[in-house]
Amino acid sequence: EVQLVESGGGLVQPGRSMKLSCAASGFTFNNYDMAWVCQAPKKGLEWVATISYDGSSTYYRDSVKGRFTISRDNAKSTLYLQMDSLRSEDTATYYCARCAVATDFDYWGQGVMVTVSS
């Protein structure tokens, strides 16, 4: 059974950093591109970033370029999102997702909440 379990969320002050993790199991992690998707409270879904299966390529939405870094450790079957210079508008539930054959997302974690507030 495919499982994606996020961790590392919580309350953080504006301008500070936070690192999210996503532990994957039930599939061959290093065969799949992976992504982060966020959802602000009561709002819609927004794609954040994607990383290729081997970590050689990364892609970001414009609003997080230069502030967020997606990475992975295939030996640990773990996906990461390093979030720096956090802003109040980054407050959201962050989901890790597996990319299917193309870059649609077929499996999702349960999500982790990040609140950016002083």
Partner 1 sequence: DIQMTQSPPSLSASLGDKVTITCQASQNINKYIAWYQQKPGKAPRLLIRYTSTLESGTPSRFSGSGSGRDYSFSISNVESEDIASYYCLQYDNLNTFGAGTKLELK
Q: Is 100 in the site for partner 1 (CB under 8 A)?
A: yes
Q: Is 1 in the site for partner 1 (CB under 8 A)?
A: no
Q: Is 110 in the site for partner 1 (CB under 8 A)?
A: yes
**The only residue of 55, 58, 111, 115 in contact with partner 1, by rule CB under 8 A:** 111
What is the spatial distance between Cα 54 and Cα 72, in angstroms, rounded to a whole number?
8
Closest CA to 8 of 85, 56, 79: 79
**The only residue of 46, 67, 74, 115 in contact with partner 1, by rule CB under 8 A:** 46
The burial class, CB within 10 Å (0-12 / 13-18 / 19+), for 46 is middle
Q: Is 116 in the site for partner 1 (CB under 8 A)?
A: no
What is the spatial distance between Cα 36 and Cα 15, in angstroms, rounded to a whole number?
20
Q: What are the residues binding partner 1 (CB under 8 A)?
A: 35, 37, 44-47, 50, 59, 61-62, 95, 100, 102-106, 108-111
